[in-house]
């Protein structure tokens, strides 16, 4: 049995994932956490072989948890789970040693097969994310800007400036030629990378770092 720890702040999603995994003859759930502090505390108390980790959680971000877990427990397979698609977040997760990167809407039957592949040393990424990553992999360091250790591209910066101006996702989408849904995902990704909670904190971050 492959011993799995689930880290996600959404109780309903965590419970559904637990029931799904427990029904499998291959996996067993040995622990759960709703924030980074619980993950760090509880993962040291049980033997874990695979960590299912939400990209965006209260406390330290999923990326920060990934980095620390890989330092302390290099044998644990870490699978990132997310509700949004974002090139830079994927790149940072890969740089930190993620063993898989999936969207939360993956079909339940497919999820178990994917997790089993990852357990046996295969790296798996959601197809839409792979296509996006392949499309943007040529982005050079010159096109990325570092603020307090957070990498932002020109679109991120433009979005932050318009958020500071009070523009809605729809208005930002029109200005940048994206759909409203895409802007919503991009804002969520920026919040996850900066480990901020809302648009107000994002505006303060932009002000502090002279983005606006």
- Residues shown for the chain: 212
| Confidence check: pLDDT of 128 > 80 | no
| Confidence check: pLDDT of 182 > 90 | no
For residue 136, the model assigns a pLDDT of: 64
User: Of 87-91, 103-107, 111-115, where does the model show the most confidence?
Assistant: 111-115
Nearest to 31 by CA among 85, 64, 69: 69
What's the gap between Cα 157 and its chain centre?
20
Contact yes or no for 82/56 (Cβ under 8 A): yes
Rounded CA-CA distance 20/11 in Å is: 14
| Confidence check: pLDDT of 79 > 90 | yes
State percent of the chain over pLDDT 90.
51
Mean pLDDT along residues 142-169 = 86
Q: Which residues pair with 31 in a beta bridge?
A: 5
Q: Which residues pair with 153 in a beta bridge?
A: 144
Mean pLDDT along residues 137-156 = 74
| Domains of the chain (ranges, CATH numbers) | 2-133 (3.40.50.2300), 141-208 (1.10.10.10)
Mean pLDDT along residues 74-99 = 85
Nearest to 16 by CA among 26, 35, 29: 29
- Phi, then psi, of 130 in degrees rounded to 5: -60, -45
């Amino acid at each position: 049995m492959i011993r799995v720890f689930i880290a996600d702040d959404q109780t309903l999603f965590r419970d559904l994932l637990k029931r799904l995994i427990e029904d499998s003859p291959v996996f067993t759930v040995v622990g759960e956490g709703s924030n980074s502090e619980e993950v760090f505390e509880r993962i040291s108390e049980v033997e874990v072989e695979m960590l299912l980790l939400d990209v965006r959680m209260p406390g330290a971000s999923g990326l920060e948890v990934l980095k620390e877990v890989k330092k302390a427990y290099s044998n644990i397979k870490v699978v990132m789970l997310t509700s949004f698609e974002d090139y830079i977040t994927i790149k940072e997760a890969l740089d930190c040693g993620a063993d898989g990167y999936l969207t939360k809407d993956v079909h339940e039957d497919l999820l178990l097969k994917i997790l089993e592949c990852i357990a046996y040393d295969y790296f798996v990424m959601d197809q839409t994310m792979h296509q996006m990553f392949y499309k943007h992999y040529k982005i050079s360091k010159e096109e990325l800007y570092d603020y307090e250790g957070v990498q932002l591209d020109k679109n991120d910066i433009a979005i932050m400036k318009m958020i500071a101006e009070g523009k809605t996702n729809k208005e930002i989408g029109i200005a940048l030629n994206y759909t409203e849904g895409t802007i919503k995902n991009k804002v969520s990704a920026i919040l996850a990378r900066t480990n901020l909670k809302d648009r107000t904190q994002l505006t303060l971050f932009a002000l502090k770092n002279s983005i606006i």
